[in-house]
Structure 1
Amino acid sequence: MKALRRHGARIAIALVPLLFALLHATDALPIGVLQRLDSIIYDARLRWTMPRTLDERIVVVDIDEKSLAEVGHWPWARVRLAELMDELFDRQQVSVVGFDVVFPEEDDTSGLQQLRRLASGDLKDEPGFVQKLQQLQGSLDYDALFARSLRQRPVVLGYYFTSDRGGRTAGVLPPPVMDKGALRGLPIKVTSWNGFGANIAPIAGATTMGGFFNPAVDPDGVVRSVPLIAEYQDRYYESLSLAVFRLLMGLPTVEPGFPPEGTVPGEYQNLESVRLRLGQKIFAIPVAEAVTTLVPFRGPGGPEGGSFRYVSASDLIAKRIPPGTLKGKIVLVGTTAPGLLDHRVTPVGETYSGVEIHANLLSGLLDNRMLVQPDYARGFDLVVLLLAGLVLALALPLLTARRALVLSAVVIAGIVALNFALYTGAGLVLPLAAALGMAIVTSALNMSYGYFVESRSKRELANLFGTYVPPELVDEMVKDPDSYSMKAASRELTVMFCDMRNFTKVSEQLQPAQVQELLNTLFNRLTDVIRSNRGTIDKYMGDCVMAFWGAPVEIEQPAHYAVKCALEMANAVRRINEEQRARGRAEIGVGIGLNTGMMFVGDMGSDIRRSYTVIGDAVNLGSRLEGLSKVYGVDIVASEATRRQAPDFAWQEIDRVRVKGKEQSVAIYWPAAPAGRIDRAAQEELQAWATFLEAYRAQDWDHCDLLLPELRRMNPKKYLYELYAQRVASLRTLPLDPEWDGTSRFETK
């Protein structure tokens, strides 16, 4: 007890991570980083434990690029789909077919509607025409032909629900599988929508089986689960995967699965399972919140992923597949063609076909290989947090550094081992991030407490900063050292990444001493420019330099200094290139990325090497923007946040992009010059460009084609205009997308 009292401060500090972890676990104070870390852990764990074997029971009939090239653009004439159905059931003898596509509009590719209008209009008095039409309309009604091919066959039609179209509906829904009375009046949370897009009546009436193919998208944009049951106007409908599974089982009834009698409180909001009852047999499918179930992915997706066999739809229509090849198979009809936009981000792939998500879930149902996040997951997390947190907080202050390290490793390993054992042994998905983060932070706080608290002095701190930041800023810090700390802090800063283009190619033509001379010249001049603009140099990385503004010494308008510095650095490289040309040497280029935002800044690293640096999403975005400078052919790329905080420059908006690791798009800009130094011609060019961007984002390609030649005339050497000319030419070939906002997606760093 005496020892505990002596280390009271350290114990109190160690309990802080436990407190925050408990608040997070109870949802009193959700911590986004931990939520994201739990998702990352789940994704990694799923990838490590996937079977990565072929499920020969399920076949994906793929409306792929080859099929579109042979049969024509989608949607196809329904007579082709009727041929596909006849091929699957008559020649191939498949057991079940499920459609991951929807048929919401009538098919008039045969011209039947036009012929009927003529028969009731201009040609109504031509008995021969009317009689001939009556004879032909049976073969020209493609919707009826397709519906006839579905009738009396085990087919599940697909459809989708919506909540973003003002409650609009299209088509006919299949019969629901459950009504509200089955929930016993309990406020069960069920995925709910207010609109739908379903199949037209002739097709929907050909079969009673249908399932929605909407996935459940997590806040980070990743599909990890699928709603098994969804609610629309107090009626409950089944997913495509569940509908196919029920058809295979002999159409059992669907019931809500509650915990044992007497354990359900009045405010109970979640189901334990979805139960399928066929006579006396019951099959229970475990579900999580909102009646969703985690998708047990088998492996990487796509035709080459090795999880499911893919067969091109065109090969079946053309009868290139030998009869009986697919006998007894479960067939899901879907698409991998990029133009049909049925790709999702999943834990096992960033462009994963939607149809294979349903194939994975169906495979898991057939094998009873399901993952579940149980109702008691939160309670489990709280117990682990309390046990591990109290052991670490009370024991670490009493141990030597080596023993404390061993105890921390044992506790962390125990937390991880227990979690993984329950996952692999029972399919239980339990939270791990809060306990893991709490144990690591608690151990780090205890083991570093003495160093950061007891050995620090004001003067030493200021002197130590001199190893990380420019000496001229240290002079200001020494005046008031109490205002500065090396501990990590979250602050709004501006970060810059500057990379030399073509440097490797240039260096290959030089002797080692000449390369050293050129690199020293570059870094000396760029360092002078950064320091003269009050920047802090973070590090040199090969031929790249990283700097930031606003720490450790706070300055007004850090974005202004950063943009001014970037323009001066670009001019400095141009002067160096003049010297290169005078020596007969190749020139080098420069690419600079600027971003302003909240980031962590502080002394970070290992015991061997540390540095005063910045980390965070805002820093990562700055690095991505530097890479984009090469794509758009400009020397500087700045984010919207930087442009907003540096209004005294003339800016040209380059694009709106979604970079790797970010789901939200961001506008990017190029600083043309200080606002007071831009000439009239440049102003007119920027105005013309703004008009072009407006037309581009409105998908007005004709207007774009009128504006681009004028922009090229104004600035013939600007690659940006050539790039957009190529984009417009490519996009013109695609159908207009009402949801497209002009954002460009980049998947590489």
Structure 2
Amino acid sequence: MQGHRVHSASRRFFKRLGFSSAMAVFFGCVLGLLVYLRAPQHGAVRGESSGWGPSGLVEGARDWLEGLERRTYDWRVLELGARSERPDEAVVVAIDDETLAEARQDDRPGVATQPWPRQLVGAMAHRLVEEGALLVLLDLPFPELSPNACVNPKLSPGAISSDDSAFRELLERESGKALLSFSWESQGSRVMPPTSRLWPYRVKVGTFPSSSEAHARAQSVLAVQRPAYVMPAGSQVEVWGAATDEADARELGSRLGVPGAAIEERRASDDTFRMGPTDLFVALAEVHVEGLDPARLVEVRQLQHPVAPLLGGGAGYGAATLSADPDGVVRGIPHLVAYTARDGRHVLPSLPLAAAMRLANTRVLRYAAGRLHVGDVYSVPMDASGFSLMRWDAPTAGRGSRGSLSRSIRAWNVLLNVFDVADERPARFDNDLEGRTVVLTRTAGESGHLRHTPIGVETPGGAILGQALANILRSEGISRAPEDYDLGLTVGLAFLGAFLALSLSFLLRSVRGVLLYLSGLGLAGAGYTAAAFYFFIEQRLWVAMAGPLLAMVGAFAVTTVYAFRNEQQIRDFVQMALGRYVSPEVARLVTRDLSLMRPERRRMSVYVCDIEGFARLSEGMKPEQLVSLFNEYLLEMAAVVRSTAGQVDKYIGDSVMAFWGAPVRTERHAHLACEAALKMRAVLADKQDAWEKKYGCRLSFRAGVDTGEVVVGDMGSELKSNYTVLGDAVGLAARLESLNKVYGTYVLVGDGTVLLAGDNYVFREVDRVRMKGRAEPLRVHELMGRKGELSTQQQEQLALHAQALTAYHQRHFAEAHALFERSAITFKDPVSSVYMARCARYIVTAPPSDWDGVHGEDDVPSTPAAA
């Protein structure tokens, strides 16, 4: 191989080894870094920055990779849900569309209005506890004072006119059994309390030994829409209420049950101890967590908490906010968030976490080794930002309000029980709530109550809270592998991909080898996927899949390209050696797959054409002109064959033989052969004027196409070989080419070609011929053109020809003669002229009674057999 350096196999191996190692380091480090810098799972803003972070293109690539990773996570979640049982620890009581429809038709006071009076909601919570519920989680907002008044004195003891007071009284009857929800936002500006300059006086409303008692008294001040001041006084705590003047201060003291209380002017230093509704709420709701840095929690900017009259009274508080990932899917819940007030940062719990603390009868939370411990009873996986991935105990949310939980109950059933008991009748529904926690939620009206989760695009928010509570009560959840762990896996798989490409590159020399080569990569990827799936299902551990697999595929692909190019010198040598006897296309295929040289039977399409009147043409031209014209003609014909993925077999004088379907297999070989015939006619039409001007003649050709089973492969002797075909289809194609002279046609095809290509091309039956040596007659067809491209005249010609041919085969020769004559005159159709002569003969001498319309072999011209 002149002009090329051929390195030894060992040297080529070490070159590939060095390159593959470099690619493994590149893909492992790049994708590993993106995996390591993964975005927060819930997309919220962290409390503090690590000092550096990705930006621009790196951030976009990281987010794209994390999006792919979330898809693999969702697949694993669904598979885990299919292996789980729906939990029954939590039950959803849903204010759904059916409940509201029933309520609109009810005549009891307040039932038909929305929202319901809070007295009804409180009565429902009280009833749920009486039916055995351990806790009632009210996933309903109460951020403003109720616009309603009490609607049913039977539901609340005593003469209570305020809806909020009635609601709080009902909650106090079940102290410790009810939890109110609040919501938060991590974006936007912080809402500041009203200015203190409106309250120049303060009145003392009590002195208490502890902050908890002081907070209860401060709530009574806040309930009448006044700021409160909680001020230390030695070992005790004083509570003061704000007033506009001294008369207002005396009135406030009397209203709160302390007539004659001390009144003082407000000092500027008093604002340090001022307590608004939000301050009181934070003091009541906050929790303390050992082992967790509050600075790493999600920093919330705004709180939407229950209105001041509802604060206290033994109720618990928890956030019902569900944070979605950047793709809008809720995959977990932030159990802890941080809120910064004047006196520092406070940690607030989620509603499921607050419920678990009540059920465990503890206020102690401890974070250690990636798990949040609720006392010594429960624990749940949680990251340092307070976010916990949820385990979904069902593969789909299904219909209704239960989500992934075992049960849900219509709120209307509970409300009817409330009315039955109030009217001293037995409750009509047995809701089976003994020992279970209830989530009272709304699923009707607003789409915001339905969230997109891995198990469904419309999962009720209350059901999500119930599933999160079930996770805590079962001490289950999903843990995500640490960033450095995923980084190590990504680098490791990058080296695995490079190793596979390096060690299996010898398989690229054949089609079967390429399949095995790619199968190696597929098996490695499937193995890692199975391992990641196992850890997720059995260990509840989410390890990265997208980044490591992409690193493996990237290193594998680049190493493969390099190895392929590194062997280009060897392939060039093979092509040069084989190219002396076979076409370069075949040589390239043989280089990759030597089995192509072995003969095999295959269904293919064969094409034979020659120049019409070539012998006459060659006699009147100079040899140089003849060869030049012939070379240009063959060049154009070969280009058309190659453009349609065909193989030029050989040139025999002025004849060209080509085939489709080998070496590259295709099921459209008949289509391609027909397309080549049409393109050849178009090319000749374009070249006629130039050839006539240059050589003084015009060319036309006749062609035959047939489809059938042939033997294809490399055939010949040691001195000369050729990749060619043998079989009946070759001879029939040659015979069809010869039959064009009988009918005056240009392209005739056999039945097999029409059967495969009839969906895209238009053919007309020309004749039925019984060939020599064949028992069955052959239907001969003419290729007319592509479907949808025939002119109106051609369509009329086809219709008339079909009508005439039908009459001919029905022995209506006079009618057929007239129709063929009309076609011959109108369309200058030579085939019709042939049939006119036959019909004239049959009109005079009718064919025998067993005549089948097949033209006898004696009328078929003899042609040389095609090899």
Give TM-score scaled by structure 2 length. Answer: 0.45
Displacement of 1:292 in angstroms is 0.7
Q: Which residue of 1 aligns with 2:189?
A: 166
Matched, 1:240 2:351: yes
Q: Which residue of 1 aligns with 2:169?
A: 148
User: Structure 2 CA distance, aligned partners of 1:328 and 1:77?
Assistant: 28
User: Structure 2 CA distance, aligned partners of 1:445 and 1:203?
Assistant: 65
**2:159 match: secondary structure:** helix
User: Structure 2 CA distance, aligned partners of 1:322 and 1:348?
Assistant: 31
Displacement of 1:156 in angstroms is 0.9
Taking the TM superposition and a 5 Å limit, the aligned residue runs for 1:557-596 are none
Matched, 1:48 2:58: no
Question: Does the CA-based 8 Å contact 2:372-2:379 persist in structure 1?
Answer: yes
Q: Which residue of 1 aligns with 2:133?
A: 94
Question: Does the CA-based 8 Å contact 1:192-1:232 persist in structure 2?
Answer: yes
Question: Does the CA-based 8 Å contact 1:93-1:324 persist in structure 2?
Answer: no
Matched, 1:383 2:511: no
Displacement of 1:366 in angstroms is 1.4
**2:414 match: secondary structure:** helix
Taking the TM superposition and a 5 Å limit, the aligned residue runs for 1:365-384 are 365-374=472-481, 377-384=482-489
Larger radius of gyration: 2
> Compared with structure 1, are the counterparts of its residues 341 and 33 closer, same or farther at alpha carbon in structure 2 (3 Å cutoff)?
closer
Please, which of 297, 300, 307 is the counterpart of residue 405 of structure 2? 307
**2:281 match: secondary structure:** coil
User: Structure 1 CA distance, aligned partners of 2:188 and 2:29?
Assistant: 43
Displacement of 1:104 in angstroms is 1.3
Displacement of 1:241 in angstroms is 0.4
User: Structure 2 CA distance, aligned partners of 1:447 and 1:75?
Assistant: 66
Matched, 1:58 2:94: no
**1:382 match: secondary structure:** helix
Q: Which residue of 2 aligns with 1:470?
A: none
Question: Does the CA-based 8 Å contact 1:61-1:333 persist in structure 2?
Answer: yes
Cα shift readout 1:102-130 (whole Å, capped 9, x = no counterpart):
21111232299xxxxxxxxxxxxxxxxxx
Matched, 1:190 2:285: no
Q: Which residue of 1 aligns with 2:555?
A: 442
Please, which of 345, 358, 373 is the counterpart of residue 452 of structure 2? 345
* Equivalent residue letter for 1:365: I
Q: Which residue of 2 aligns with 1:204?
A: 311
Question: Does the CA-based 8 Å contact 1:276-1:283 persist in structure 2?
Answer: yes
Displacement of 1:288 in angstroms is 1.5
Q: Which residue of 1 aligns with 2:123?
A: 83
Taking the TM superposition and a 5 Å limit, the aligned residue runs for 1:506-585 are none
Give unmatched runs, 5+ long, in structure 1.
Answer: 113-134, 260-271, 461-749
Matched, 1:157 2:189: no
User: Structure 2 CA distance, aligned partners of 1:201 and 1:351?
Assistant: 33
Cα shift readout 1:400-459 (whole Å, capped 9, x = no counterpart):
234643442343233222222221222111211111111223333344556689599xxx
User: Structure 2 CA distance, aligned partners of 1:422 and 1:306?
Assistant: 22
Question: Does the CA-based 8 Å contact 1:11-1:397 persist in structure 2?
Answer: no
User: Structure 1 CA distance, aligned partners of 2:112 and 2:338?
Assistant: 36
> Compared with structure 1, are the counterparts of its residues 148 and 33 closer, same or farther at alpha carbon in structure 2 (3 Å cutoff)?
same
**1:230 match: secondary structure:** strand
Taking the TM superposition and a 5 Å limit, the aligned residue runs for 1:18-37 are 18-27=28-37, 29-30=58-59, 31=61, 32-37=63-68
Displacement of 1:56 in angstroms is 2.4
Q: Which residue of 2 aligns with 1:273?
A: 371
User: Structure 1 CA distance, aligned partners of 2:335 and 2:346?
Assistant: 14
Question: Does the CA-based 8 Å contact 2:172-2:315 persist in structure 1?
Answer: no
Q: Which residue of 1 aligns with 2:70?
A: 39
* Equivalent residue letter for 1:42: Y
Cα shift readout 1:654-692 (whole Å, capped 9, x = no counterpart):
xxxxxxxxxxxxxxxxxxxxxxxxxxxxxxxxxxxxxxx
* Equivalent residue letter for 1:22: G
**2:337 match: secondary structure:** strand
Matched, 1:290 2:385: yes
Displacement of 1:275 in angstroms is 2.4
Question: Does the CA-based 8 Å contact 2:403-2:460 persist in structure 1?
Answer: no
* Equivalent residue letter for 1:362: L
User: Structure 1 CA distance, aligned partners of 2:502 and 2:95?
Assistant: 64
Matched, 1:405 2:518: yes
* Equivalent residue letter for 2:134: S
Cα shift readout 1:245-298 (whole Å, capped 9, x = no counterpart):
11111134123x245xxxxxxxxxxxx332222xxx364332124111011112
Displacement of 1:179 in angstroms is 4.9
Q: Which residue of 2 aligns with 1:418?
A: 531
Q: Which residue of 2 aligns with 1:106?
A: 145
Taking the TM superposition and a 5 Å limit, the aligned residue runs for 1:592-631 are none
User: Structure 1 CA distance, aligned partners of 2:553 and 2:135?
Assistant: 51
* Equivalent residue letter for 1:284: S
Question: Does the CA-based 8 Å contact 1:177-1:253 persist in structure 2?
Answer: no
> Compared with structure 1, are the counterparts of its residues 304 and 22 closer, same or farther at alpha carbon in structure 2 (3 Å cutoff)?
closer
Question: Does the CA-based 8 Å contact 1:295-1:361 persist in structure 2?
Answer: yes
Q: CA RMSD in A?
A: 3.6
**1:357 match: secondary structure:** helix
**2:313 match: secondary structure:** coil
Q: Which residue of 2 aligns with 1:178?
A: 287
Q: Which residue of 1 aligns with 2:14?
A: 5
> Compared with structure 1, are the counterparts of its residues 339 and 386 closer, same or farther at alpha carbon in structure 2 (3 Å cutoff)?
closer
User: Structure 2 CA distance, aligned partners of 1:102 and 1:176?
Assistant: 16
User: Structure 2 CA distance, aligned partners of 1:160 and 1:75?
Assistant: 18
Displacement of 1:328 in angstroms is 2.5
* Equivalent residue letter for 1:244: A
Cα shift readout 1:33-54 (whole Å, capped 9, x = no counterpart):
3211100000110011114533
Amino-acid identity (%) = 20
Q: Which residue of 2 aligns with 1:538?
A: none
* Equivalent residue letter for 1:80: L
**1:24 match: secondary structure:** helix
Question: Does the CA-based 8 Å contact 1:388-1:411 persist in structure 2?
Answer: no
Question: Does the CA-based 8 Å contact 1:78-1:143 persist in structure 2?
Answer: yes
User: Structure 1 CA distance, aligned partners of 2:565 and 2:323?
Assistant: 46
User: Structure 1 CA distance, aligned partners of 2:288 and 2:358?
Assistant: 20
* Equivalent residue letter for 1:201: A
* Equivalent residue letter for 2:528: I
* Equivalent residue letter for 2:163: Y
Give TM-score scaled by structure 1 length. Answer: 0.51
Question: Does the CA-based 8 Å contact 1:162-1:195 persist in structure 2?
Answer: yes
**1:216 match: secondary structure:** coil
